[in-house]
Each structure stands twice: as structure tokens, then as C-alpha cells.
Amino acid sequence: MEATKELTLMEGTVESVIFRNEENGYTVLRLSVGDGEPVTVVGCMPGAAPGEGLAVQGTWGRHSSYGEQFKAEIVERRIPVGEKAIFEYLASGAIKGVGAATARRLVEEFGSDTFNVLEEHPEQLTKIKGITRKRALQIGEAFRLQMGMRRLLDFLGEHGLPLQLGMPLYRRYGDPALDVIRDNPYLLVDEELGVSFSTADELALAIGLDGEDPQRLEAGILFELTHNLNNGHTFLPVQKLLWATGQLIGVEGPGLTEALDSLEHQGLLTREEVAGEDACYLSSIQEAEEYVAWRLEEMCTRELLPPAHLDRLLETIQADQDITYAPQQREAVALAAERQVMLLTGGPGTGKTTCLRGVLALFDALGLETALAAPTGRAAKRLGEACGTEAATIHRLLETQFDQHTGQLIFAHDEDEPLSADAVIVDETSMVDVPLMRALLSALRSDCRLILVGDPDQLPSVGPGNLLSDLIRSGKVPTICLTEIFRQAAESAIVMNAHRVDRGELPDLTNHQKDFFFLRRRDPVRTAETIVELVKTRLPEKMGIPADQIQVLSPTRKHQSGTLALNQRLQEALNPAQPGKGERRFGPYLFRLGDRVMQVKNNYDIMWKDREGRSAGLGVFNGDIGRITDMDPRGEVITVDFDGRLVEYGPEMLGELEPAYAMTVHKAQGSEYRAVILAVSDGSPMLLSRGVLYTAITRARELFILVGDEEKVAQMVHNDRQQRRYSGLRARLARGS
């Protein structure tokens, strides 16, 4: 487990509870520690009540509104001893169904043995006048639940695990949560819980699991496959998987092969020959990849009867939109009338948006209900604006739901409840991974048309698969690749330099252009200083571009010109601290009222409201950008406005937010900004690549500025090595799924 910082120990008795969030256990209380003034303690302490003894380890800090506070990181809760302390605890309302009057009668009847009676012999409560057997058992159950949470928190604290895990574990597993985690500590390795494999593995060994126990070997294999989904792999070759797992847990020999066989027998893994590899999949991912190949192949074989008056219809659309299609564009719009599925690809300035408007007008003329979608909120907003109609994220289109019982993402629309749309257009398809495409395809009616649009030279999806590239290279899906750069686009240095980079040529860095500039800064610190100056003063004052319409990008999070350092500098320049302005520190970040922030993980079950305060929907998604509009100092609640969707974040949710004055190029994918500034200085060879530079340039609409070292720019242009993604989709399409 990670080394802990120096913590201070403090012991005392809870005097009063000032605030408690029942959902996450976050508590503010006053702790009596002797003869002096009570101390304000904040942290995850579900169910803490007056009269209870606490031993807390943590650090001192100062709240901008409430002064000195002690932030508890490890909490040992001690059952109240003595009749007075027991009465105070029960009278506080800590146990459902017990108030002050009942607490007094309980202590008078059972004295110091009250807690034992509540937990072991609740039927004895019927000795007290007015307590029926049913109520006695209910009080006993409430007390046992309280004790179960206490023991779970004690276990977490004893092993150095975050106390914030208590509430989600209890919600997921109920009263047996502690026994469940003792039986299988690897259940903690879950995206929602956020515990690393190494931490769970160290816990498993600490509580006595043998290093070569089959449970540990199986957990290691599953972790390697799950972890590599985020590296884009839908499968791993068996030998590579076994080697990587052995390196992870320090085990060699036949035990790993036996564990692999056991997981396959349990149905958790699938092993098959695909793409020339002995491939091992998580079964759910194999099923998704197989389904995508089968469904697309089925759609590809279906030719539609085009309308008899197609040519006249295309002429009418051109007249209505006051354009004349180039041959490729006309071919693309016509193909949409003839095929159930098609791909439309091309770089910037090649007219993809013009084609999309034409396809949408064509479908309208044919009386088809068309849905527009994109992988992210910002990409959907841009698509809707470009086409003059509403667009949604794919998740919203499918009506994402989060099953609290299984912890799984589910969709309201699937094979049993398909979308009503007659046609679906998806933009930024390069960002779509295989599981999401499987969900979308399963929600389409058998006769629904599908138009997939994207730029194959942009970065691939963060999730598993290489979808757009695999579909194009398979040769099975009807595809139109737009290559002609139109005159207006050709006047843009942003467009022309993007194409230069895509061809492996250096961009023009002479600064003789109106929308593309290079500022040489060899020193990373000077690079960062120049970027702050550009955002704060030079662009707003000299070019009339406000700071909130400028997006700073970097290939990397680390180093002096990475997003961590840039966000700190930009925050101080654009939103400095002021007396009375709310602040909240979480991990490496200091969140401040007015900050621009980004959601960094999909949260499907968070409720958001509109600006009138009405509950309006569920879900905030990875990459959504908002601004902190309110901070409730007592409840430590931060409110973020995501383009009219107001979301409240408690302390346990702040790990889902990051400052967004600067972001990585990967996070900016699918978005477009009026002005983009790219820091090109430090970074690993994997990040200093042609795809990253190309994607960064194509995020800018009016202005693009490179700040950094031209040698690093050249390095990026010449580095076209792409990490291999193990994906079987192309092979499945080639062989007929």
C-alpha cells in the first residue's frame, strides 16, 4: 500500500454532530478531548453519535469560513462505556426507532449490558412497556446494522484503506459487507470503488491469503485483462497475458495456466483463435466484438431501393442549402439513400459537415426520423450546431441507467426496447469503443439506417478496440473518404498544417499566417509562463478572444509544461484567491469558486438539475466541461454548471473532477474551441506523436498557437508509431464474424 504521511493522533468523546451526509457518511462533529475547547473533526464517520468514543488520526487544516479543523483519515470508534455514555449515544438518534425517552427506559432496564441485549437478545426489549416484539426486532436489526458499519470502518482503518469506501461497500453488499471483503479482497478492485490491484493484493496477503492461492492467481489474470481494456486491447494473447500476470504478482509455473482454465470454465474468460493469435478475452468483451461484427455484416449486405427521383431530390437539397456538391460529396449523400450502413471519413476542410447536412435533408425528405449522436457532450453539441438540430451523446440517446444492485451500466434501449429512430448518424466515431458500439447496434431496429462519421487519423478511443480503423481496413463497410480540400478551408493555415502533419510533413512555423502561430520557447518553465501570458492578456486584449474561449492543451500531465503545472498557473492568473471566495482542496487540486472544471469519469446515476432548480435528468460524462458556481462551506458541497446542468459534488465525489484550464489532447478529442494553445516541450515518446499533434491542431476553429521547441514539433511529426491494439473486429468482419 502507499506510504502514509505523518498523522496526528487525537482521542476523545463525541460532544455533538454538526453535519452528516447520509449518502456518503461525511460528518462534521465536535470532539471533547479533555479540559480544553472541543475540536471540530471532519471526515467519513457514518453513524457517529454523541457519547461515542473516537480515536482519530489525521492532519490539521484551516477552513476559509469555519477556522481550524482536524481532518480524520483513520478513525477508530469505541463503543460508549458506562450508563451515561450509553444513554447519550442512544438518545442522539443514532439507532433508528430509539429516541431520548426509549433510550432512558433501555438504560434503566438493562444498564451497562444494553448494547449486548440490543445486538444478541433484542426480544428482551419487550420487557419495556410499549415495545412490541415487532418493534423490538426492528430496533435490534437497526443496532446490528450500525455495529456492522462500525466493524467495516474499523477494518478499513486498520488496513489503511479510505474510510470513504464504507458507504458504497455497505450499499453494495449490505450487512455482510465485511465478510464479503474478507472472503475476496479483490472485489475492491472496481472502477466505482477506486482501489488499486496492488492495494487489494497487499490486503489479501495481510489477512492470510497464500501467494499462490487460486483466488489470487485468478484475480491477477482478470485484472490484467480489465486493465488493458483502457490500453485499447479487446484481448491479449494467452502467453503475453500469463507473462504479464506473473510479473504482476510474482508467480511462475503451471498454477497460472490452471487459473486461466478455471476462469474459462466459470465463463468469465473466452479463449479462441482470432487475428492469428491465441486470444484471451473477458467474455463480455468477446461477445461485444462478435456482436458488432455480426450486426454490421448483416447491415452491409442489405441494399436499399433508392427513391426513383433521387437525382432530382439531390438537386433540390443543393438549391435549398445554396451549395453545389463536389463529386465525392454527391456520391456520399446518394450512398446514404442506397445502403443501410455507411462510413463517411475525411480530414478537416473536406466537407464532412456539408455531407451530413445533405444526408439529414435527404432523410427528412424520405420521411425518416433521424437521431444525431456523438460520444461526448461537447461533440454532440458541436454536431447539433453544425446540422441545425438537436444531437445527444450516445449514452443519452440510449438512456443510460446505473443498476445499483449489480453495479453495472445498463441502457433503457436494447433489442427488446429499440430506438424509434429510422436512421442514426454518429459523429466522431474514432472515439467510440467496441462495448459502446455493441450497445448502440443492439438498440437499432432491424431496418434502421446507420451513418458513421469520423477522421481515422485522429487518436483512437480510450476504451477497447480500434473501431473506425478496423471498419475501414476490413473493406466490408461501404465507405466514402473525402479527400478534396475546399477553397475556403484551403485559406486556413490550421487546415493546411493539419494535412501537412497528417502526411508526415512539418507544419509551417514561419508565422506568416493569420490563424496558426509558433512561439519558440526552449525552456519548459518559459513555455508555461508564455502560455499564461497569452491566455490572461495577449489574446483577450489584442485579438478579442476571451480567456474562457481559449483551451490550453498539452500532450502530458507531468513536467513543467504538463496539465498539472499549467492548471495551477492558469488558476492563479485567471481566478486568484480572494477573501470570502470558497476553496476546497482535494488531492493535488485546489478547487475554487469560479474555476473551469472537467468531469473525468462517466457517472451514470448522478442527478442534475436545471438552472431553475428542477430535477431534470441523470448522468454526467467523461470530458464534460463546467464551471464551479457555488460552494457550500458547511456541507463541503461544490456545485458545477455544465451548460445548464447543475450537479452537486460531495467530498467523496471530488475525485471525479479536475481543473480544465489546461487538459491533455486525449481529453480534448471530440471538442472544438475558438482558440487552442498547445504546449510542446516535455513528454514521453508515446505521447509526442503525430496523432497527438494532428488531433490538437484540429481542435482549433479560429486560432492555433504552438508554444515550445520546434525540435519537439519535428519529433512529433516523425513519430507515427502507433501502439498496437489487440483487436479481433477486422478479422471477424473479414471471415464473416
Can you spell out the DSSP letters for 142-186? HHHHHHHHHHHHHHHHHTT--GGGHHHHHHHH-TTHHHHHHH-GG
* Distance of alpha carbon 77 from alpha carbon 156, whole angstroms: 12
Q: How confident is the model at residue 275 (pLDDT cuts 50, 70, 90)?
A: confident
pLDDT tens-digit map of 8-22: 888 888 888 888 776
Q: Residues near 599 by Cβ (< 8 Å), separated by ≥ 6?
A: 620, 621, 622, 623, 624, 626, 642, 656, 657
Q: How confident is the model at residue 711 (pLDDT cuts 50, 70, 90)?
A: very high
Q: Cell numbers 484551516 correspond to what residue?
A: 62
Largest Cα–Cα separation, the chain: 93
- Residues present in the chain in total: 737
Q: Nearest 10 degrees: CA dihedral of 383, 386, 387, 390? A: 50
Set of cell numbers at residue 109: 432496564
* pLDDT of 3 strictly over 50: no
pLDDT tens-digit map of 510-549: 988 889 999 999 999 999 999 999 999 999 999 999 999 9
Closest of 54, 55, 43, 39 to residue 19, by C-alpha: 43
Question: Alpha-carbon torsion 531, 536, 540, 541, what sign?
Answer: negative
Mean pLDDT to the nearest integer, 135-161: 83
Q: Comparing 489 with 45, which gets the higher pLDDT?
A: 45
124-to-91, 115, 129, 132, 669 alpha-carbon distances in Å:
19, 12, 11, 10, 64
Mean pLDDT to the nearest integer, 292-297: 96
* Distance of alpha carbon 294 from alpha carbon 476, whole angstroms: 12
Q: How confident is the model at residue 580 (pLDDT cuts 50, 70, 90)?
A: confident
Q: How far is CA 102 from the centre of its chain?
A: 47
Residue 633 DSSP code: T
**Within a 13 Å sphere around the CA of 377, how many CA atoms are in the beta-carbon half?**
17
* pLDDT of 406 strictly over 60: no
Neighbours of 19 (CB within 10 A): 13
* pLDDT of 149 strictly over 80: no
- Residue 471 phi/psi, 5-degree rounding, is -65, -40
Question: What SS3 state is found at 114?
Answer: helix
* pLDDT of 563 strictly over 70: yes
* Distance of alpha carbon 553 from alpha carbon 573, whole angstroms: 17
Q: Are 48 and 25 in contact (CB under 8 A)?
A: no
Q: Is 736 exposed, middle or buried (0-12, 13-18, 19+ CB in 10 A)?
A: exposed
In whole numbers, what is the pLDDT of the chain averaged over residues?
Answer: 89
Q: Cell numbers 480540400 correspond to what residue?
A: 485
The stretches of 272-351 forming alpha helices (DSSP H) are: 283-300, 310-321, 327-338
* Distance of alpha carbon 703 from alpha carbon 377, whole angstroms: 22
- What pLDDT, on a 0 to 100 scale, did the predictor assign at position 2? 42
Question: What SS3 state is found at 225?
Answer: helix
Mean pLDDT to the nearest integer, 279-302: 96
* Distance of alpha carbon 190 from alpha carbon 481, whole angstroms: 40
pLDDT tens-digit map of 611-663: 887 777 777 887 889 999 998 765 468 999 998 889 998 877 888 899 999 99
Question: What SS3 state is found at 668?
Answer: helix
Q: Are 638 and 591 in contact (CB under 8 A)?
A: yes
- Residue 489 phi/psi, 5-degree rounding, is -70, -35
Q: Are 677 and 534 in contact (CB under 8 A)?
A: yes
* pLDDT of 737 strictly over 60: no
* Distance of alpha carbon 402 from alpha carbon 399, whole angstroms: 10
pLDDT tens-digit map of 419-445: 999 999 999 999 999 999 999 999 999
Question: What SS3 state is found at 103?
Answer: helix
* Distance of alpha carbon 473 from alpha carbon 114, whole angstroms: 73
- What pLDDT, on a 0 to 100 scale, did the predictor assign at position 175? 75
- What pLDDT, on a 0 to 100 scale, did the predictor assign at position 1? 40
Q: How confident is the model at residue 418 (pLDDT cuts 50, 70, 90)?
A: very high
pLDDT tens-digit map of 40-83: 998 888 778 787 888 888 888 877 666 788 988 888 877 777 88
Q: How confident is the model at residue 408 (pLDDT cuts 50, 70, 90)?
A: low
Please give, one letter per residue, the 3-state secondary structure of 634-661: CCCEEEEEECCEEEEECHHHHHHEEECC
* Distance of alpha carbon 347 from alpha carbon 481, whole angstroms: 9
Q: How confident is the model at residue 554 (pLDDT cuts 50, 70, 90)?
A: very high
Cα–Cα–Cα angle for 144, 149, 154, rounded to 5 degrees: 120
280-to-208, 285, 289, 618, 726 alpha-carbon distances in Å:
30, 10, 13, 35, 10
Question: What SS3 state is found at 380?
Answer: helix
Question: Alpha-carbon torsion 668, 669, 673, 675, what sign?
Answer: positive
- Measure CA of the first residue to CA of the last residue in the chain; give whole Å: 44
Q: What percent of the chain has pLDDT over 90?
A: 58
Residue 467 DSSP code: H
**What is 672-704 written as a DSSP string?**
-EEEEEEEES---TTTSSHHHHHHHHTTEEEEE
pLDDT tens-digit map of 238-253: 999 999 999 999 998 8
Mean pLDDT to the nearest integer, 141-145: 82
Set of cell numbers at residue 458: 485522429
Closest of 126, 138, 128 to residue 97, by C-alpha: 138
* Distance of alpha carbon 166 from alpha carbon 44, whole angstroms: 8
